[in-house]
Amino acid sequence: MKVIENFSNVEELSKIVDENKGVITTTMRALRDAHGADRLGIHVRSGLSRSLRKAGLGHQPRELPDSQEKLARIYRRGGPVDELIEAVDAIDPQNDEILRERAGNDAADIIQKIRELVE
């Protein structure tokens, strides 16, 4: 897979996320440009978070980076990737069960993927 940067607004980004099984990686520059901003100040980043949320999207890291060169993971809220991210973030026995179910026979590979998602 590759870093996706070819979108001009959040609605277009939302379609791209859906076309890519609910998750993509993009640059903060592309997000900033789609938001119509010049810089990635705190207000722009919080506005980006709100716009993504309104479109049914989540992002990682939880606090969007302030550098245009940094990467962000954008995913469909309520989908399988969101469930996995939430299970990793919220420590409790029910989420442990979700992780076990998802791991199946490929436990080591899945745990590595989860670690990558959380980072």
Mind listing the pLDDT tens digit for each residue in 37-85?
A: 999 999 999 999 999 999 999 999 999 999 999 999 999 999 988 988 8
Mind listing the pLDDT tens digit for each residue in 82-113?
A: 988 888 888 888 888 888 887 775 656 666 77
Per-residue pLDDT at 62: 92
Mind listing the pLDDT tens digit for each residue in 12-37?
A: 999 999 999 999 999 999 999 999 99
Q: Which long-range contacts (CB under 8 A, 24 or more apart) does 30-33 make?
A: 30/4, 30/5, 30/6, 31/64, 31/72, 31/74, 32/68, 33/8
In angstroms, the CA 61 to CA 65 distance is 8
DSSP state of 72: E
